[in-house]
Structure 1
Amino acid sequence: MKDLSVLIVNYNVSYFLEQCLLSVRKAVRGLQVEVFVVDNNSVDGSVEMVRRRFPEVILLANKENLGFSKANNQAIRQSQGKYVLLLNPDTVVEEDTFRKCFEYMEDHPKAGALGVKMMDGAGKFLPESKRGLPTPWVAFCKVFGLAALFPTSGLFNRYHLGHLSSEQVHKVDILAGAFMFMRAEALDKVGLLDEDFFMYGEDIDLSFRIKEGGYDVVYFPETRIIHYKGESTRKTSVNYVFMFYRAMMVFAEKHFSGRQARMYSFLIRLAIYLRAGLAIVARALQWLFPIFLDGLCLMVGVLVGERLVPDPLSLEFSTMWATYFVVWLGAAFFSGAYDKPTRLYRLVRGMLWGSILLMALSSFSGMVGQVNKKHLLVAVLVGLVGMAAWRLLHHFKLYGHWRFGEPKAKRIAVIGSQNEVKRASTLLRQAGAQEPLAQFAPQFPASDLIQIKEIIEIYKINELIFCGKDLAVSQIIEWMVQIHKSAIEFKILPENSTYIIGSSSKNTRGDYYALHIEVNLLNPYHRRNKVVLNSLVSAVLLILSPVLIWGMKGKKQFFKNCLGNLIGLYQWVGLKATATPESKPSILSPADKESNQRISPAAARQIEVVYAKEYTPYSDLVIISRNLSQLGRPA
């Protein structure tokens, strides 16, 4: 029997997984440990990386995304450890984490599960390290914000047990699935992870069952891990809201009954509608606000034009001016004026195309002819000046300089040996980032912190890179905690890795420096064009349907597909072999470009990767034209 079985479920986070496994490799020393990686059909080279760099790892490569619970159970059934650890791939463990957890569990036979102190990528404590049972009252306080208003209250913030010190060992109700150190004997008694939970909620359910089984669930802060929380950026999305609260509903139906279950069900449904509604409103306002500001600038332009070029007819045609605004702003939108990063030329291009379109329409309808052309020109020019001005002010507020379109200048320092600093500089240069301004080779830990702070002050450093080959994870975490300032970001260069990884907060997806690879399908410009193309193709197909329908397989489904694509529910060509739960259903895939060939799943995945990198609307048109008879397939 092994001392410990470490289980890591991975899905498309090769860069995090590599760093996690490097830290695990150091933490297993002194114990008999087996490490499992269960890959849920990643397409980012995760499987190949594990095979190449970590031959000691037991790799289970699934051909589909089984979800968190099924994938963990898959490994648990093969594990031989006295203890089982569920570990997220976006974590970094200290060198003594496993040993300390093992020793505590050995000394406390009533402990069935243990969680540790988790820090985010900026060195801040993550309150979800310890949680209370989500009863109806706890859910009510969480949903209506009482927990956030009273973070240290034992009454209102039992969700994160805010009244319990984060520096002391406590018995708690719930642990985070990012790090759950469990007694295999307890799992044998209470059962494995509930596979009704695809994502979210399974850690709550398992913690609850372990406690119900007569074991203690323990928060143990005497060792720490970094948890980048790579999924947290999705928490503002409507999809996340429904997935998370659906998991809460499954938990309630399983463990509560009677009046308590009805109350919980009501609160969860209320939370779903409130959070989903707030998410929709927040995203809509965030998306519309720049367009609203541009509309105000155009309105100022119209008023200025009225003063400079008197036009008695112009004010009588307010609805006509509204039409002009729609055309101008619509052209700016499709030109990419609202895409990130902001580029002034996109705005100018959009306004130019909008003006050309209005002039063209005037030759057919006389619409523009009712307004003085000089007035129109003044309105556009003044509007453009206003649009550029507010963008520049916003840019200066964010980045502290007037160089429009350039992000905040990185002032980087690297902490590590000369060879590792040189390697970091090479990676930064290849990734298009600024090379480090300072370097520091730690030798005397007692005085290192003072010297690092002096370097930060002298060079005005806003990003620190730690070399994982030269530094212990425990030292990195300690420095992050001690140095932490809102203006400083931290990243780690793992040993022999081509990634430099970090995250500025728990609400920011982990990011990294690596060789830059442009993926056209992720570009907002191409994604927007793809949606427009789907609708236009659908309209054309519907017009031509009396002719096309005779050679169509699945005639009724064809009309359903046309309507689904017309309103944006489906897509004619999309990723199938590499699809995620958030992907829109697609009729065809890039593999259909060679319609007469049978293609293996691995080849289909590779074709889709190339398609995503090199995507243009023409790619979709080619695939659709070669598969006209197949457009009646189910999505």
Structure 2
Amino acid sequence: MTAAPHTPMGPDDRMAVVMITHNRRDEALLALSRLRDLPERPHVVVVDNGSDDGSAAAIRERFPEVELVASPVNLGAVGRNVGVDRVEAPFVAFCDDDTWWEPGALRKAADALAAHPRLSVVTGKILVEPGGREDPINAELLHSPVEGPDWMPGPTLGSFLAGASVVRRIAFTGVGGFSERLWLGGEEELLAADLATAGWELVHLPDVVVHHQASTQRDTVLRRRHGLRNALWFLWLRRPVRAALRRSRDVLATAPRDRITLLAVLDAVRGAGWVLRERRRLPENVERRFRALEESQRSSAARRYGR
């Protein structure tokens, strides 16, 4: 039986929010103030990933209602796993410390998840701040070439963007959440493939809106190195050999021929033993989804590794 939507303006106990942060004290505090003002009044868990700038103490003082997990080390995306383990709500929105959900967006996502029991992820439309312009990735999400079942409430996706997504908790935990090995940077693709393999669907809903004002406090070198490494690892872990080789060539073609790319490739090769032990080829129905994405991935300006 389909669950009835909650009232348009009141709190929504179906929803929790998990935010990870690292050494972005002021941005984390601003993000939490915006979460506190949401009409859904979600339970919020913040995982502070080993910050040394006083983030944990400031959050504890300013937002006593927030559940804070102060990790002594930077867990990367696995911090989200830790946060999800702390909540009981059926649906969990991820929030980075430089993103925020528009009022009402979480309720719309929860309504979609409640209405469609095989739906595991809702990815929203991203507006880039300041200015509120559309992120280029929105067009790719809206025109996704992935074929899905007739009941889907929007375009079927092959992967998702964690900071702009709401997940079904039992689906997320059922496939193990984000990989410790991948840490952070393009970590979503492996999880998306494993969700699809388990029979779950992923959707883009453009009326679920999230804002993103990219932080200046980021290690762009490490981000690119890990993103490229993880893209290669995903291909080697899950795609058939020919597809993995073809897509590896495509991924490397978008990357500058520089030291960072070399280090990323070396990192990927050093993990070959782990990859071979953990390799599980996608079932054909899921592999078709990733084949359908290849052309858009090759031409995508939003997925290049030179940034």
Asked whether the two chains share a fold, i.e. TM above 0.5, the reply is: yes
Q: How does 1:31-46 map to 2 (within 5 A)?
A: 33-46=42-55
Change (3 A) 1:222 1:37: same
Q: Is the 8 A contact 1:13 1:44 kept in 2?
A: yes
Q: Is the 8 A contact 2:45 2:86 kept in 1?
A: no
Aligned to 2:202: 217
Query: What is the CA-CA distance between 1:257 and the residue it aligns to?
Result: 2.5
Query: What is the CA-CA distance between 1:209 and the residue it aligns to?
Result: 2.1
Aligned to 1:18: 29
Q: How does 1:309-328 map to 2 (within 5 A)?
A: none
Q: How does 1:406-425 map to 2 (within 5 A)?
A: none
Query: What is the CA-CA distance between 1:269 and the residue it aligns to?
Result: 4.1
Q: Whole-Å Cα distance in 2 between the matches of residues 183 and 233 of structure 1?
A: 29
Question: What RMSD in Å do the two structures reach over aligned CA positions?
Answer: 3.0
Aligned to 2:106: 98
Aligned to 2:67, which of 46, 58, 61?
58
Query: What is the CA-CA distance between 1:255 and the residue it aligns to?
Result: 1.0
Q: How does 1:571-586 map to 2 (within 5 A)?
A: none
Q: Whole-Å Cα distance in 1 between the matches of residues 18 and 261 of structure 2?
A: 34
Query: What is the CA-CA distance between 1:38 and the residue it aligns to?
Result: 0.4
Q: How does 1:493-532 map to 2 (within 5 A)?
A: none
Q: Whole-Å Cα distance in 1 between the matches of residues 198 and 140 of structure 2?
A: 18
Q: Whole-Å Cα distance in 2 between the matches of residues 127 and 210 of structure 1?
A: 25
Q: Whole-Å Cα distance in 2 between the matches of residues 232 and 172 of structure 1?
A: 30
Aligned sequence identity (%): 22
Aligned to 1:264, which of 239, 242, 247?
247
Q: Is the 8 A contact 1:8 1:86 kept in 2?
A: yes
Q: How does 1:532-571 map to 2 (within 5 A)?
A: none
Aligned to 2:225, which of 214, 228, 242?
242
Query: What is the CA-CA distance between 1:92 and the residue it aligns to?
Result: 2.1
Aligned to 1:170, which of 155, 163, 170?
155
Change (3 A) 1:55 1:192: same
Query: What is the CA-CA distance between 1:186 and the residue it aligns to?
Result: 1.3
Query: What is the CA-CA distance between 1:182 and the residue it aligns to?
Result: 0.7
Aligned to 1:276, which of 241, 252, 258?
258
**TM-superposition CA deviations, 1:559-616 (whole Å, max 9, x none):** xxxxxxxxxxxxxxxxxxxxxxxxxxxxxxxxxxxxxxxxxxxxxxxxxxxxxxxxxx
Q: Whole-Å Cα distance in 2 between the matches of residues 10 and 254 of structure 1?
A: 28
Q: How does 1:300-315 map to 2 (within 5 A)?
A: none
Q: Whole-Å Cα distance in 1 between the matches of residues 39 and 173 of structure 2?
A: 24
Please tell me the residue identity of whatever aligns with 2:54: G
Query: What is the CA-CA distance between 1:267 and the residue it aligns to?
Result: 3.4
What is the number of residues matched between the two proteins?
245
Query: What is the CA-CA distance between 1:276 and the residue it aligns to?
Result: 2.9
Paired residue secondary structure (1:224): strand
Query: What is the CA-CA distance between 1:28 and the residue it aligns to?
Result: 5.0
Q: Is the 8 A contact 1:130 1:219 kept in 2?
A: no
Q: How does 1:424-463 map to 2 (within 5 A)?
A: none
Q: Is the 8 A contact 2:125 2:164 kept in 1?
A: no
Query: What is the CA-CA distance between 1:277 and the residue it aligns to?
Result: 7.0
Paired residue secondary structure (1:27): coil
Change (3 A) 1:227 1:213: same
Q: Whole-Å Cα distance in 2 between the matches of residues 226 and 220 of structure 1?
A: 14
Change (3 A) 1:52 1:277: closer
Paired residue secondary structure (1:173): coil
**TM-superposition CA deviations, 1:94-133 (whole Å, max 9, x none):** 221211211121122222100111111121101334757x
Q: How does 1:67-106 map to 2 (within 5 A)?
A: 67-68=76-77, 70-106=78-114
Q: Is the 8 A contact 2:49 2:79 kept in 1?
A: yes
Change (3 A) 1:185 1:96: same
Please tell me the residue identity of whatever aligns with 2:75: L
Query: What is the CA-CA distance between 1:278 and the residue it aligns to?
Result: 10
Change (3 A) 1:170 1:64: same
Q: Whole-Å Cα distance in 1 between the matches of residues 139 and 204 of structure 2?
A: 6
Query: What is the CA-CA distance between 1:233 and the residue it aligns to?
Result: 7.1
Q: Is the 8 A contact 1:3 1:83 kept in 2?
A: yes
| Unaligned runs of at least 5 residues, structure 2 | 1-12, 147-152, 263-301, 303-307
Greater Rg by CA: 1
Q: Whole-Å Cα distance in 1 between the matches of residues 182 and 135 of structure 2?
A: 23
Paired residue secondary structure (1:170): coil
**TM-superposition CA deviations, 1:127-184 (whole Å, max 9, x none):** 334757xxxxxxxxxxxxxxxxxxx9x7xx97xx9xxxxxx93222221111220111
Alignment partner of 1:198 is 2:183:
yes
Aligned to 2:170: 185
Change (3 A) 1:278 1:18: closer
**TM-score of the two chains, using structure 1 as the length reference:** 0.36
Q: Is the 8 A contact 1:120 1:228 kept in 2?
A: yes
Please tell me the residue identity of whatever aligns with 2:161: A
| Unaligned runs of at least 5 residues, structure 1 | 133-151, 162-167, 281-505, 507-635
Please tell me the residue identity of whatever aligns with 1:108: H
Change (3 A) 1:240 1:8: closer
Query: What is the CA-CA distance between 1:46 and the residue it aligns to?
Result: 1.2
Q: How does 1:287-298 map to 2 (within 5 A)?
A: none
Aligned to 2:5: none
Aligned to 1:252: 235
Q: Whole-Å Cα distance in 2 between the matches of residues 13 and 249 of structure 1?
A: 29
Query: What is the CA-CA distance between 1:231 and the residue it aligns to?
Result: 6.1
Q: Is the 8 A contact 2:127 2:210 kept in 1?
A: yes
Q: Whole-Å Cα distance in 2 between the matches of residues 278 and 64 of structure 1?
A: 24
**TM-superposition CA deviations, 1:602-631 (whole Å, max 9, x none):** xxxxxxxxxxxxxxxxxxxxxxxxxxxxxx
Paired residue secondary structure (1:47): helix
Paired residue secondary structure (1:194): coil
Query: What is the CA-CA distance between 1:217 and the residue it aligns to?
Result: 0.8
Q: Is the 8 A contact 2:185 2:223 kept in 1?
A: no
**TM-superposition CA deviations, 1:482-519 (whole Å, max 9, x none):** xxxxxxxxxxxxxxxxxxxxxxxx9xxxxxxxxxxxxx
Change (3 A) 1:10 1:48: same
Aligned to 1:49: 58
Q: Is the 8 A contact 1:27 1:96 kept in 2?
A: yes
Aligned to 1:409: none
Q: Is the 8 A contact 2:20 2:96 kept in 1?
A: yes
Change (3 A) 1:118 1:271: closer
